[in-house]
Amino acid sequence: MAGMPPVHLILGDDEFLTERARLHIQRAAAEESGSSGTRPELTKLKASEVSEGELLEATSPSLFGDNRVIVISDCERAGKEVVDILLRACANPAPGMTMVIIYSVTAKTLKKKKKKQPELVAKLRKIAEVHEVFSLYPNELGQWATREFSSHGVRPTPDVIHAVLEGVGSDLRELASAISQLVSDTGGNVTREAVQNYYVGVAEVANWDIADAAVAGRVEAAVSTCRRALQLGASPVAIAAALANKVGAVARLYSARGDQYSLASQTGLAPYVVKMTQPVARRWSADNVTKAVILVSELDAAVKGQGGEPEFALEAAVKRVAELAR
């Protein structure tokens, strides 16, 4: 069987498809080197920031011939010197080295340059395996979703595809996640009714439902509801705010005694909030309330872009709050 090509060009502007293509290449390189018992060393560089010396060092032959994957992004912003080094490295890649060149450009922009394509793209097209990752047009989404189902061993009917697109929209990351979840939940028997049932419950989930499940200690319900709400495009900031408000209510009520109206007056909470929250709040300990308050404070920073991935931080916080409630 022929080996994996040593040079890959990921060409296009869709971030999800770019990431998927890159991971596919990395996995294939790891599988190919599996017989040697060592995983390839991964190096990530940005062509817009890397120095010529750093790039020369990264792409030079290894003394021991180790397997390596060199991922170079931002290549559309590379200067001429960096482009020259990349082209030399790709024309004659060192033994054991897999080169992954990521060039972000829209199909429309590239089409305008058809007669004179960027030098890096034009030359790599001749020597590299090209992975096109252009953003899809609306009329291409149905075919893409069908192929995504097929990758899970499912042949969807047109009404299933229509229902999924109607429920999720055009974001490919969300579509891929939803299709994977649907296949898993239904054992591969995905019908229009299954799709509608999946989304009806989720689309109507309020952020408060996630927060309520978390402070009540219902770990699985809180996490799965949060995950599905995010898949449907719910705002991490809004869910985090609901969780913070609910934890704040627990903090005011866990040690309080009295009827809902006197407690509402004391705490500044609405009487119905007191009525709903007090039975749950009484099960909390002072230590865990403190931990939860700190947690939602840190979450606020995470979902507002101060480092990390907001969806991941949110799901982890929802799970942790639910665990503290037990």
What residue spans define the domains of the chain?
7-132, 138-202, 207-324
pTM: 0.60
CATH of domain 7-132: 3.40.50.300
Q: Are 102 and 10 in contact (CB under 8 A)?
A: yes
pLDDT at 113: 78
pLDDT at 149: 97
The architecture that CATH gives domain 138-202 is: Orthogonal Bundle (1.10)
Task: Give the integer Cα–Cα distance in Å for 70 and 50.
Answer: 13
**Enclosing H/E stretch for 11:** strand 7-11
Q: Are 185 and 205 in contact (CB under 8 A)?
A: no
pLDDT at 272: 67
CATH of domain 207-324: 1.20.272.10
Residue appearing with tokens 């809902």? 260
Q: Please, which residues bridge with residue 9 across strands?
A: 101, 130
Mean pLDDT by 10 residues, the chain (326 residues): 82 94 92 71 92 92 82 95 95 92 94 84 95 91 94 93 80 87 91 79 64 92 87 83 91 88 80 82 94 93 76 93 93
pLDDT at 134: 95
pLDDT at 323: 95
β-strand 7-11 against 41-46: which pairing, if any?
unpaired
Nearest to 59 by CA among 25, 27, 100: 100
Task: Give the integer Cα–Cα distance in Å for 231 and 107.
Answer: 27
Phi and psi dihedrals of 114, rounded to 5?
A: -55, -40
pLDDT at 203: 47
What are 178-189's pLDDT values in tens digits?
899 899 989 999
